[in-house]
A and B are shown apart, each in its own frame.
Chain A
Amino acid sequence: MSEKKKKYMKKSEMFTFGIGLFGVALLTGWMPDYTQTFFADFAFKGKGFDSSVISSQISAVFLAAGIIGAVIELVTGFLIDNTRTRLGKAKPWIGFGAVPMAIIAMLVFVAPNTRNQTLAIIWMYVIYSLYTAVGCAVERPAECFGALCSPDPSERSSAISIASFMKSVGQSGGMVVVLVVGIVMKAVMGQQQYKNAEAQGLDLVISTAVCALGFILFVMIFFINNKERVPYTREKVSLKDAVKVVFTNKNLLMVSLTKLTGFGRGVYGTVSLYIAIYLLGSKDLKLALLLPMGIGTAVGTLLVNFVLKKFSTKQTYILFCVYGATSLAILYFVATGIGFNSGLIIPFLILNFFCGLQHGNTNVTPNIMIADCVDEIEWKTGKRQEGLAYAGYGLFAKIASAFTKALGPWLLYTWSGYLVSTDANVAYAAQTDATLNKFLMIYTIIPAAFVILQGLPILFYDMVGDKKEKIVKELMIRREAAAERDYDEPANDAD
């Protein structure tokens, strides 16, 4: 008779972990884009500031916040790994950081009533950097909670899959919030008064409050119901050792490197507006273009969970990379075959859904791999370092994102030979066939190449199969022995 596998997590915990990440993503997904819009268009409207100075300063504010975020990322990881409380190491950061994060997010949308441009610029730097710092201190522990929710890798993988799905849904939640807020405001205020309020950015202010309220509500549901079930190790971790972990553990480094080698995967976003205008015929189709891909991503996130039951994380990752590159190549050949006309719209949107499936892999599998790497590091060093492991991955992701933001516009405006309209009455100038073909390549073939490159580091990843099984077993034995030793002095409320 087969031995019944021990379940660590309550069924509701799987769901409330997802609810928590949904809440975090609701706010973190909302903030960057809408903050940029608020700063540029509404915060100092009518104050007589030089709009070109404000615009360039906004870019600098986001650059500075990005650098601060990268540093805070590592600091947060280090602090998590040195946190030892009855609640665990990551959970206190989420539960106690949520209140200041919600309030600071709201303060980003409460601009000072000043006519002093320098003061206004300083305020933008201070408030957004503060939000970025507090945001990192909550978002990172929330992500690394996946590695702490259960000592059983398969249970942990399921929890991470569900949570990743909820997170990817939560990231777009703000778009629904602003839509609903607009409808309610119109109903309450009347059409023109709503327009006037919208012109002052008040719909954004209310939407931020709604997102922040949703965030605190969902995070608290998670905080009350979920427990860390992997006991932390007692050894103190020095900052030097901690940073070393990120760069010297081969498997963790390989997972992190996927972000760098695959950085060009995201350039399709830069060209999507132009694909809608020039290849499909209307800029209104941009949303229609992104919607099937978004749905594909959500479906892909669920699909990965099923694939992981049959294959290892390494096989799953490589399988999805091959699939992703193939689907993008098919989209390229179908589009060039049909030609850039209205007949392309339906096949393009359908194939876009299939291209979106691959993103489910990049949302889920690396998070499971990092949790496995944390086990490996603990097995090798006796120290458990979820904080730094996820922070290291986050750091690589931030660097990759900066590369993507540089490559995308270069490909679009320089490499493609894009012609800008100089006629005030013509929004988008006619482009040559060669340029249109390059637009399509930026959307398909170039990301496909990066999807393949993204899979390369994983060829060297080996925390799978017998090795993983052996490590998990040995860690269980060690933890049981440690638990007996610590009977009178429990490390945390892990059970």
Chain B
Amino acid sequence: MADKKKKGLNLKLYGIFAILVTAAVLGALTFFTYTTRYTAFDPEKMAVAYVDTIVQTGDGYNAFKDTLLSKDMKFGDYIRQNYINPVVYENYKPGDSTKGLKGLNDESLKGEKTLGDNGELEGKVIDTMYPVFVSLVETNNGFDNYDAIFTQYIAELQKVREEVFGDKYFDDEAFFTAFEANLAAYGESLTGTEDEYDANTGVQTKIASVGAYQEKFGEDYKIEVVSAGVAKNEGNKCTVNVNVNVNGQAEVENLPVTLQKIGRSWYVDNTACDTSVLYTFYK
């Protein structure tokens, strides 16, 4: 019998076709998702994200992550280099390497209380620093004057920590733990909190409180930040006007946010923005 060649699917051709088609679809979906979700490619989205971060919880600190301060390094590293390291290491200048340097973060400086703390003393430091944090935000009308806030906060934190722990140990962790806990508490003073229970045990972990936003706009207030359009466009620099609506009503109108384009990404020029109104519009 003649050997009849079976006619059928060419598996190699199908395999290559399937890989190419899938790769093309995956590439297109990834590109689409990236460009629609990633705020830095669009100045309006970037301006809205910047104002939204501030206005939702009074968080002017994390909003700096969208600014020129963060274009070359993590915002946390910027704070380390410019505010924490000069306190921890003698004669440190921003940009210096900390390799081999000995400073206040030396393990030998840790006293008994630091070594034995299960979080209670750390909590005491956080609680003591909260009024300091609030006072700095209020006297500076927000975070635009970040230099004054970080410098004064760290100086006070060093003192409080030494009093509570009884040693001179100090590191970046001490700053970030206290500052971020204070920032979270400040946010809750605006938004209010609900009763919270541990999902596994049912034990209550947080008691409900009424925030400043709720007092002014009602318990179920809704803040929306929207772009009012690009006011000025000069190629790599532009200004976007931003509105803050609460329960559908404009509370802040045409707040100008200046941005600068570096590469493909837009950054907020924090030196050219006045965000103080975002810390007072609810008063």
The residues of A with any CB-CB pair to B shorter than 8 Å are: 46, 48, 86-87, 95, 98-99, 102-103, 106-107, 109-110, 113, 190-193, 195-197, 200-202, 205-206, 209, 212-213, 216-217, 220-221, 223-224, 409, 412-413, 418, 420-427, 430, 493
What would be 8 A-B contacts, judged by CB atoms less than 8 Å apart? A87-B9, A103-B22, A195-B65, A213-B22, A420-B205, A423-B123, A425-B119, A426-B119
Given A106-B25, A216-B19: A95 in contact with B14 (beta carbons within 8 A)? yes
Would A192 and B74 count as touching, CB distance under 8 A?
yes
Interface of A is mostly: helix
State how many angstroms separate the Cβ of A192 from the closest Cβ of chain B: 4
New A-B pairs, 8, CB < 8 Å, besides A196-B65, A197-B38? A99-B18, A205-B30, A213-B26, A216-B19, A224-B12, A422-B205, A423-B120, A423-B123
Residues from chain B with Cβ under 8 Å of A424 in the complex: 123, 205-206
Residues from chain B with Cβ under 8 Å of A190 in the complex: 71-73
Residues from chain A with Cβ under 8 Å of B97 in the complex: none
For the complex of A and B, 3 pairs with smallest distance between CB atoms? A425-B123, A192-B70, A426-B119
Would B36 and A196 count as touching, CB distance under 8 A?
no
Which of B105-113, B145-153, B195-203, B231-239 has 4 or more CB atoms under 8 Å from chain A? B195-203
Would B15 and A220 count as touching, CB distance under 8 A?
yes
State how many angstroms separate the Cβ of A215 from the closest Cβ of chain B: 9
Residues from chain B with Cβ under 8 Å of A425 in the complex: 119-120, 122-123, 126, 181
A98, A221, A224, A418 — most chain B CB neighbours (10 Å): A224
Residues from chain B with Cβ under 8 Å of A86 in the complex: 6, 8
Would A212 and B120 count as touching, CB distance under 8 A?
no
Residues from chain A with Cβ under 8 Å of B120 in the complex: 423, 425-426
Q: Is residue B66 contacting chain A, with contact meaning CB distance below 8 A?
A: yes
Residues from chain B with Cβ under 8 Å of A200 in the complex: 37-39
Would B201 and A420 count as touching, CB distance under 8 A?
yes
Would A206 and B30 count as touching, CB distance under 8 A?
yes
Residues from chain B with Cβ under 8 Å of A413 in the complex: 200-201
Proximity string of chain B (65-87) to chain A, C-beta cutoff 8 Å, 1 when within and 0 when not? 11000111111010000000000
In the complex, the chain A residue whose C-beta lies closest to that of B125 is A425
State how many angstroms separate the Cβ of B248 from the closest Cβ of chain A: 13
Would A191 and B77 count as touching, CB distance under 8 A?
yes
In the complex, the chain B residue whose C-beta lies closest to that of A105 is B26
Q: Is residue B118 contacting chain A, with contact meaning CB distance below 8 A?
A: yes
Proximity string of chain B (125-145) to chain A, C-beta cutoff 8 Å, 1 when within and 0 when not? 010000000000000000000
State how many angstroms separate the Cβ of A87 from the closest Cβ of chain B: 7
Residues from chain A with Cβ under 8 Å of B70 in the complex: 192-193
Would A422 and B15 count as touching, CB distance under 8 A?
no
B22, B71, B126 — most chain A CB neighbours (10 Å): B22
Would A192 and B75 count as touching, CB distance under 8 A?
yes
Residues from chain A with Cβ under 8 Å of B27 in the complex: 209
Would B203 and A99 count as touching, CB distance under 8 A?
no
Would B71 and A220 count as touching, CB distance under 8 A?
no
In the complex, the chain A residue whose C-beta lies closest to that of B66 is A196
A209, B30: Cα distance in complex, Å = 7
In the complex, the chain B residue whose C-beta lies closest to that of A43 is B37
Given A216-B22, A423-B119, A427-B119: A223 in contact with B37 (beta carbons within 8 A)? no
Q: Is residue B11 contacting chain A, with contact meaning CB distance below 8 A?
A: yes
In the complex, the chain A residue whose C-beta lies closest to that of B200 is A413
B16, B19, B71, B265 — most chain A CB neighbours (10 Å): B19
A190, B72: Cα distance in complex, Å = 6
Residues from chain B with Cβ under 8 Å of A422 in the complex: 203-205
Name the contact of A191 in the complex, choosing from B37, B73, B265 (C-beta under 8 A). Answer: B73
State how many angstroms separate the Cβ of A339 from the closest Cβ of chain B: 19
Would A209 and B204 count as touching, CB distance under 8 A?
no
Would A420 and B203 count as touching, CB distance under 8 A?
yes
Residues from chain B with Cβ under 8 Å of A191 in the complex: 73-74, 77
Given A190-B71, A422-B204: A196 in contact with B26 (beta carbons within 8 A)? no
Would A205 and B265 count as touching, CB distance under 8 A?
no
A107, B22: Cα distance in complex, Å = 12
Q: Is residue B164 contacting chain A, with contact meaning CB distance below 8 A?
A: no
Would B38 and A202 count as touching, CB distance under 8 A?
yes
In the complex, the chain B residue whose C-beta lies closest to that of A186 is B74
In the complex, the chain B residue whose C-beta lies closest to that of A98 is B18
State how many angstroms separate the Cβ of A427 from the closest Cβ of chain B: 7
Name the contact of A202 in the complex, choosing from B16, B19, B34, B65 (C-beta under 8 A). Answer: B34
Would A224 and B123 count as touching, CB distance under 8 A?
no
Would B19 and A217 count as touching, CB distance under 8 A?
yes
Residues from chain B with Cβ under 8 Å of A201 in the complex: 37
In the complex, the chain B residue whose C-beta lies closest to that of A52 is B194
Would A103 and B33 count as touching, CB distance under 8 A?
no
A106, B33: Cα distance in complex, Å = 10
A99, B120: Cα distance in complex, Å = 55
Q: Is residue B40 contacting chain A, with contact meaning CB distance below 8 A?
A: yes
State how many angstroms separate the Cβ of A282 from the closest Cβ of chain B: 14
Given A202-B34, A427-B119: A106 in contact with B26 (beta carbons within 8 A)? yes
Residues from chain A with Cβ under 8 Å of B38 in the complex: 196-197, 200, 202
In the complex, the chain B residue whose C-beta lies closest to that of A221 is B15
State how many angstroms separate the Cβ of B98 from the closest Cβ of chain A: 16
Residues from chain B with Cβ under 8 Å of A113 in the complex: 36
A430, B118: Cα distance in complex, Å = 9
State how many angstroms separate the Cβ of A432 from the closest Cβ of chain B: 15
Q: Is residue B102 contacting chain A, with contact meaning CB distance below 8 A?
A: no
Residues from chain B with Cβ under 8 Å of A98 in the complex: 18, 22
